[in-house]
A and B are shown apart, each in its own frame.
Chain A
């Protein structure tokens, strides 16, 4: 029984799920959503911020729709990999997630909402007791951050999911539902720079689906992932780049986003704009890669050192953009 006890709720419709969540919120009962469980349950086994109630979305069939421009939150990652409706860059990124067994359980929504990770946090209870806990799971001790000591206002745990940068580049809109109704926003606005709050989801609110713009098929691109092993590992850094070309060597549009480097994934609009403004081919890509390297600020809380991860962002950006230089148009 490593798993702590909790009450499991299994609503069969979105409406029922929101009702249960709303009810618990009003009674001030704490709960977590669980989709595939590949993120939440390992954390529960380590007694990380365990709640007394867990609402499973597994039986809600309306969240599993998948086509070219609509991805339900409960679409399994492996289904996303294998579907012909999936944009090739998204499929490539999804195919790098963990292992096939995890992908058969893990979901798109779960991947987007992946909890941030940290060497000082993703540990067992006994281990965390030995460092006197940390800010992200302080067990009532008001413990400091262990990565950057002497500050306990911000958690710097790292967002290490693969889909977000690609979806952000492709211009995805994320759709939420909760007791107060539904709302939508650009995916890039969904995340909040804090390893604990992570995103804009309110209590009782959940991700229902993502939509992609109609012209999504016209975008080409690539996703590059840094990790020690070709399986299982979370991204130590991830770079997605997509572009549109209109016959000329210079792309008409270019977007680059990164993951695995800070508490949120980031779309690098400013750097890309500068690159396109002064476009000079391969040299511009190098400059873009360098400016993105400068823009990211990883900390020492994953397998590779921050300095290495930053250097690799440059290499990965260049490689992700390699397709841009091929074929001229």
Chain B
């Protein structure tokens, strides 16, 4: 047993309280003896050997060299690989019933009557519910609650919920489905998003006095920043493209599943693979009309979310309603087609992108018009409408930004939030547009970008506060590692290389459901008892991205403990503090910050106890691996457990609560909060492709993927996110598409015909981690879950252009679409055989050296702003000669901010902008 052979120690334990070998040096964890501190893991600022080219960080003193920055297998990985992880459909409660949902066969109809008497007579059928059982509305955003558990009055798309049934087994439930008779009055349905802009006899929803005309416009945005009127005069090169993006689905491996159970005390437990358990919690209380404390939301393991499990869902309500009616647990598991019917995937979009460059190669204007197809419900659409605009106001410094956006209801499954929420499509349009501008100006597209970047610690044209920026390093790394200069515009026909960049929020600055001044964004509780193990209570939803792991790592690092001493309890709302959930790439930033703050309190108590035991000076004590000692004399110290037991003497288990809230940020115009985040991630990808010009088939061969995640707390997970993002984005750019047939039906609601790239399509991805050391991020970290998806789409589009000289404006670039463009190109070039097409070539213009010089100057500027704590403010506009220290609209009236369209604009609006032609009913006086 013990090293020194003192096996008698356990004998007489009862007679010798306090003599247990608990407090042996290094006890705790799998390895009994503490490791010496690895100087390589300790930052320079603390006297270690870890280089900090980006400067020191406020969390440096908390680094114990334990686990932050080390590639770490996910803490829940073993549950998954041994099959012990319980996903939604794995929950089996005694006496369970199987629930099935009766869905609309019509695109749009009024429900006249539902007769379920025959179904109820079927032996084995226990309960049936319809919309009349729960008429309260819900929705993920408080401003747009427009969903019911089941249809009340109308069904809005094929697959919309009409009724639900609970039976002893699935066969009976399916039989009962057939026996339920529903009478409908069919209404004229809308399938083309452009039709949603027109007045309609039966708008899909009625928002009363807030309804926009009689149209199906759910949300409209108008924004003007900067010198919009000067664009025409300043521009020497302009790009215009009308994009059409097909809708895509998250296609998570696990279909949605839910189990509801009312326990004997009358409380409801809902087992569901949710990204955002707290919003379900709220919605359940609204729909079931019971107080929130009567509900326990249990998040099961989540088999992939990607945004597709972040709304409160009607089937979750159905299971709770059926369970209440039947008095038994009810389990509902979706078939794959039901996943497509609940959807919430990326919006099908029509985006008009206009980019302008002036004679100095500055981006003097971006004009975007985005019409997005919301399908039948609002979901996150309010936010998506803003994100399609505001999330491409960086990383470049721009002279003017004009955005019109509109989201319309159509009779399709609802679109919602999906990885890269709202930013992906318009980012693709911007980045391919920049490629075109570079082509027009005869300059290198990477150098064009490098000469137009915002510096660190600056404000975008819309007033977003940007802190750390690793964009320049991302671009430089991919340029170098891909061999860009030897390949770009130099490869033979059919081979191409392209660049794309990305910019994404690291946590939404504004919580969806409450005033951030009243509640924090994230809270983490810690409990440590005499065994030394740390129980972490967090509501952060691990959806496979590794949030449990990152929270465990943060606590382990601060307390100097091995990971196996940390246990995460993140599944139940009964025991975990409220958390807003896994969306907007907020979890690492907010929860790890909260966890660090909680762990710091425990750390303080342990240091106090150590000072008391050893008599050493408190300020000189440091934490190493399960040992607390004097920095100048490591022999003076105690083990973690000794310190812990001392700290526990008078109070038992140590507990601590840590929280995180964002600092006040942003400006005050309407919509100013959309896109605000405490930090932003940046990325740059280079893709190399082969295009078969005879068939139009595109193969991505290699991707160099640089992402600035601030600090890779777990490099293994960051690389996984980068590679996974490449796969998902490649699906959208090359093959994935929710295909609607001529009758408006979704033709491919299955995984054979919804073309997710297979392993054969996957390129070699070379992930490159850039660590810009964000001042507010936990240990410097920012997000890595969504931002890495953005650049792959434009990188592939631009590479296709480099390969064959054809620009696409429709995604996915399926071979048939690309072949049409190739044929058009052949015609324009006057060649019969596509194999004789010319390859694009580049000869630099004089502007190239201007850009190179500016990029060099800016690199120095950025370096200075990175390290100089006394830096002046920098507002977008300085590149155009304005005073960088004040917001441009305050110094130059041409740069006024405008969120209401002028009469002049409305005389000839763009597509989505035409949504502003309607008057809100309350202003029409006929509400």
Contacts and interface: CB of A to CB of B under 8 A. Distances in A.
Interface of A: 1-2, 5, 119-120, 123-124, 126-127, 129-131, 146, 226, 228-233, 303-305, 307-308, 311-312, 315
Contact of A131 (B169, B695, B745, B748): B745
Given A124-B337, A229-B760, A230-B758, 5 more contacts: A127-B158, A232-B752, A304-B815, A311-B819, A312-B695
Contacts of B758: 229-232
Contact of A126 (B105, B170, B695): B105
Contacts of B749: 123-124, 127
Interface string B747-763: 11110110101111100
A119 B748 CA distance: 8
Contact of A229 (B105, B170, B735, B750): B735
Contact of A1 (B169, B759, B761): B169
Interface string B135-177: 0000000000000000000000011000000000111001000
5 contacts: A120-B741, A127-B745, A229-B735, A305-B816, A307-B816
B745 A130 contact: yes
A146 B103 CA distance: 21
B337 A231 contact: no
Given A1-B171, A119-B753, A305-B816, A228 B694 contact: no
A213 B105 CA distance: 53
A96 to B, nearest CB: 11
B743 interface: yes
B200 interface: no
Nearest to A119: B747
A252 to B, nearest CB: 29
Interface string B804-825: 0000000000111001000000
Given A119-B748, A119-B753, A304 B695 contact: no
A304 B814 contact: yes
Given A126-B105, A127-B745, A228 B759 contact: no
B759 A231 contact: yes
A315 B759 contact: no
Interface of B: 103-106, 158-159, 169-171, 174, 335, 337, 694-695, 735, 741, 743, 745, 747-750, 752-753, 755, 757-761, 814-816, 819
A303 B753 contact: yes
Nearest to B758: A231
A205 B694 CA distance: 43
A230 B748 contact: no
Given A229-B735, A230-B758, A126 B816 contact: no
B755 A229 contact: yes
Contacts of B757: 229
A130 B105 contact: yes
A57 to B, nearest CB: 24
A126 B760 contact: no
Contacts of A308: 815-816, 819
B263 to A, nearest CB: 28
Contacts of A233: 752, 755
A2 B335 contact: yes
Contacts of A231: 758-760
A307 B816 CA distance: 9
B691 to A, nearest CB: 14
A127 B748 CA distance: 10
Give the 3 A-B CB pairs with smallest separation, nearest first: A230-B760, A308-B816, A130-B105
Contacts of B337: 123-124, 126-127
Contacts of A303: 748, 753, 755
B178 to A, nearest CB: 9
Contacts of B335: 2, 124
A308 B749 CA distance: 23
B743 A230 contact: no
A1 B124 CA distance: 15
A312 B693 CA distance: 12
Contacts of B752: 232-233
B756 to A, nearest CB: 8
Contacts of B814: 228, 304
Contacts of B158: 127, 130
Residue among A5, A146, A308 with the highest chain B CB neighbour number at 10 A:
A308
A228 B816 CA distance: 10
Contact of B170 (A1, A129, A131, A305): A1
A255 B819 CA distance: 28
Nearest to B172: A1
Contacts of A312: 695
Contacts of B747: 119
Nearest to A128: B105
A187 to B, nearest CB: 27
A126 B106 CA distance: 11
A126 B745 contact: no
Contacts of A315: 694-695
A119 B753 CA distance: 9
A233 B750 CA distance: 13
B100 to A, nearest CB: 10
A285 to B, nearest CB: 14
Given A119-B741, A232-B758, A304-B815, A226 B169 contact: no
Nearest to A308: B816
A124 B169 CA distance: 20
Nearest to A234: B752
Nearest to B340: A127
Query: Which of A2, A126, A226: most chain B Cβ within 10 A?
Result: A126
A230 B760 CA distance: 6
Contacts of A228: 735, 755, 814-815
Contacts of B755: 228-229, 233, 303
A2 B748 CA distance: 19
Nearest to A126: B103
B309 to A, nearest CB: 22
A76 B694 CA distance: 34
Nearest to B105: A130
B836 to A, nearest CB: 15
B675 to A, nearest CB: 35
Contacts of B741: 119-120
Given A126-B103, A130-B106, A303-B755, A229 B695 contact: no
Nearest to B823: A311
A129 B759 contact: no
A64 to B, nearest CB: 28
A179 B735 CA distance: 48
Nearest to A124: B337
A292 to B, nearest CB: 16
B155 to A, nearest CB: 11
B34 to A, nearest CB: 48
A146 B741 CA distance: 11
Contacts of B104: 130
A232 B750 CA distance: 13
Nearest to B746: A127
A230 B695 contact: no
Given A228-B815, A304-B814, A129 B174 contact: no
A327 to B, nearest CB: 22
Contacts of A146: 743
Nearest to A130: B105
Of A2, A127, A231, A233, which is in contact with the most chain B CB atoms at under 10 Å from its CB? A127
Contacts of B760: 229-231
A154 B816 CA distance: 28
Contacts of A127: 158, 337, 745, 749
Nearest to A318: B694
A55 B337 CA distance: 29
B819 A229 contact: no
A232 B749 CA distance: 16
A307 B337 CA distance: 28
B816 A5 contact: no
A181 to B, nearest CB: 38
A307 B815 CA distance: 12
B824 to A, nearest CB: 14
A131 B174 CA distance: 19
Contacts of A226: 695
